[in-house]
Structure 1
Amino acid sequence: MQGIHRFMTAMARIMAVLGGIVLLALIVITCVSILGRALNTALHSGLIQSAAPDFAQALIDWGIGAIRGDFELVEAGMAFCIFAFLPLCQVTAGHATVDILVGAMPRPARRVFVLLGEALFAVALVVIAQQLYLGMESKLRSGQTSFLLQYPVWWGYAAALTGAVAAAVAGVYMALVRTLELLTGRVLVPNAVGTDH
């Protein structure tokens, strides 16, 4: 069981690192685009146009401005990022929980509630992955492209689907782990019954 858990944790961490890299790239794209848009606005201002019209026009012609399709890139990238971080939350029991009533219950009852939570997450993640797959398939068949960059929309769906499938696998795995913990009375993976305050 520990070998499987190490594999699932490694997969979840790899997905989180990939999500972090994409998120960092999206932050850079957003910042550069905002800066470019602000510079473009300044270059069109009356002050710059009257003081140095040729210089301002040369910079505008050079392409100073917002990154073309920045919203499209951020939209597709954020979908991947969200799903890329979910497997790590699943495997490490990192989701926020409110256990005001459950915390006062005996350990076996808490295990039942933890199992119910994991099972609901697993079902939701599998359904989300399935719906993303169907959406990707639909966009692939229709040949739909983004408005500005004209890249196939199914690419964004495929990227998000990668994270969603990893999250679904992690969710099903954790539901199985919590089921075994409930049946055996042993803690197989840390944080099985929440924190004790």
Structure 2
Amino acid sequence: MYRHLNRIAERIAILLALASGFVLLGIVVLTCVSIIGRALVPLNIGLGPIRGIYDITEIGMAAAVFGFLPLTQYREAHARVDLFQTALPNAVNLGLDLLFNVAMFVAALVGSYRLYLGMLDKKSYGETTLIAQIPVWQGYALSLVGCVAFVVVAAFCILRSARRLLGRGTVGEPT
């Protein structure tokens, strides 16, 4: 059962990270096209900048950041300060890992809840971006996908840390 959960968590994390990478590549391409179009305006050949590129970039970047969080959590790659880690016994370090994974789960849960409430708020008011008139709630919804996946992966990481603490797993390699 654990191996199955591990595979699911890993696949969710990797798929969202890949999708986020493609979103970032798309933003780069659109930005380049917009810059080229802006440079060609004086030539009067009908090309120009992409209308609302700033709005598209903002939404895409937010969604990408939240899409990378599950993989970061799965791989235990969040920034951490481990000044005393080598001085502490292994059991204490494993206990701290479990504590930190619980804290990340709580942070992910609160973040998802607040994003959800923000999305509902933006949708109820019909707020749109300034230039492209994209409904703002759509950016929240895209970000919420990554944040909910972050909750799921963080929950798995609690299980993984608990197994390590109980001696059923090894640090650095999921079992």
Does structure 1 residue 160 correspond to structure 2 residue 143?
A: yes
Corresponding position of 1:50 = none
Contact (CA 8 Å) 1:177, 1:189: kept in 2 or not? Answer: no
Equivalent position SS for 2:40: helix
Corresponding position of 1:16 = 17
Match of 1:74 among 50, 57, 64: 57
Amino acid at match of 1:187: G
Partner Cα separation in structure 2 for residue 98 and residue 158 of structure 1: 32
Task: Give the TM-score, by structure 2 length.
Answer: 0.91
Corresponding position of 2:153 = 170
Classify 1:20/1:5 alpha carbon distance in 2 versus 1 (closer, same or farther; 3 Å).
Answer: same
What is the CA-CA distance between 1:173 and the residue it aligns to?
1.7
Amino acid at match of 1:34: I
Does structure 1 residue 115 correspond to structure 2 residue 98?
A: yes
Please give the per-residue CA displacement for 1:117-173, whole angstroms capped at 9, x wherever unaligned.
111111111111111000000111111112222121111110000011001111122
Match of 1:147 among 130, 146, 153: 130
What is the CA-CA distance between 1:72 and the residue it aligns to?
0.2
Please give the per-residue CA displacement for 1:94-119, whole angstroms capped at 9, x wherever unaligned.
22333121122111011011112111
For structure 1, the 5+ residue unaligned runs are 44-55, 193-197
What is the CA-CA distance between 1:174 and the residue it aligns to?
0.7
Corresponding position of 1:52 = none
Larger Rg: 1
Partner Cα separation in structure 2 for residue 189 and residue 19 of structure 1: 27
Contact (CA 8 Å) 1:93, 1:191: kept in 2 or not? Answer: no
What is the CA-CA distance between 1:187 and the residue it aligns to?
1.7
What is the CA-CA distance between 1:180 and the residue it aligns to?
3.3
Corresponding position of 2:89 = 106
Partner Cα separation in structure 1 for residue 170 and residue 88 of structure 2: 20
Corresponding position of 1:187 = 169
Equivalent position SS for 1:66: coil
What is the CA-CA distance between 1:191 and the residue it aligns to?
5.2
Corresponding residue pairs, total: 173
Partner Cα separation in structure 1 for residue 117 and residue 24 of structure 2: 25
For structure 2, the 5+ residue unaligned runs are none
Partner Cα separation in structure 2 for residue 103 and residue 83 of structure 1: 32
Contact (CA 8 Å) 1:29, 1:70: kept in 2 or not? Answer: yes
Match of 1:130 among 101, 113, 121: 113
Contact (CA 8 Å) 2:35, 2:49: kept in 1 or not? Answer: yes
Partner Cα separation in structure 2 for residue 170 and residue 137 of structure 1: 24
Deviates more, 1:76-85 or 1:27-36: 27-36
